[in-house]
Structure 1
Amino acid sequence: MAEKPSDLWRRRLAEEATGIATGTLAPEHAYTTQLFPESLVTATGTTLDSFETGIRTLSAPSDDEILVAVQRVVLALNAVNEAHGGVGYETVEREMLCEYIDQTLTENGVDVAALAERNGLERYEITDEWREW
C-alpha cells in the first residue's frame, strides 16, 4: 500500500520531538516542525484519505472518472498549499504527492502509463493540468 506523504511527515515530526526531548537534537536544528506544521500534515492526510477512498469505490472506471478523481485531489491539495501561504509543498513533497497519486491508482488496478498515453500525456503529467504546487 502506498504510504501517504503525510504519514511520513508525521513520523519525522515525532522523531524530531523525541530528539529534542532527549537532548540529541538542538531545538535550532529542528526544521521539520517549520516545514510541516500540524495543520498541513492533517489537511494533506485528510485529502489523501478522501482520494484513496474515492478511488477504491470506482468499479471499472473510465478514464474520465479517474481523471476527475485526480483533478479533485489535486485541487484539494492546491487549497491546502494555498492555506499555507503557497509554500506548503516544496520540490520533494511535490514529487512525493505525485508518486502517491500514481501508486494509489496503480494499486487500485489503473494502468497509469496507458491512461496517460490515451490522454496524450506522459505518465507523470496526469496532475499537471490542475496542479499549482
Structure 2
Amino acid sequence: MPGEPQADCLFCKIVAGEVPATVVRETGTTVAFRDINPQAPTHVLVIPKVHYPDAASLAAAEPQVAADILAEAAKVAEHDQVDATGYRIVFNTGAGAGQTVFHTHAHVLGGRGLQWPPG
C-alpha cells in the first residue's frame, strides 16, 4: 500500500532505526542523513518517513510531505553552512536518471562549486 513501509527498502529501514545512518536532522515527517558516497563536502539525503518510490508519486499523494522535504533541505543547508554560498537540491526519478533507492529522497549538495549541467 502506498505510504506504508516496505520490508526490502533501505530507507524504510533507516527510518525504522534498523539500519544505522549519520542523522543530521529529523522531524515528524522527514529524516536527513549523510550520504555514504558523498559527491560534495555537504551531501545529505532528506527522505520522507512514508514510502513512495519517487518525488512525483509523493507529491501527488502527500503534497505537504513533499513540501516538508524542501523545507528540511533548506534547514540542512543552513545547518551545514552552505546556505549563503549556494547549494543544490536534486531529486532523481527513475533508474535512467540515476535513482538507485526507490524511496523518495532529495540530495542536498554544497560546499564546492557545482557546475551545470551536472553529470
More helix by share: 1
Q: Quickly name the TM-score band, shorter chain normalised.
A: 0.3 to 0.5
More strand by share: 2
Scaled by the length of structure 2, the TM-score of the pair is: 0.37
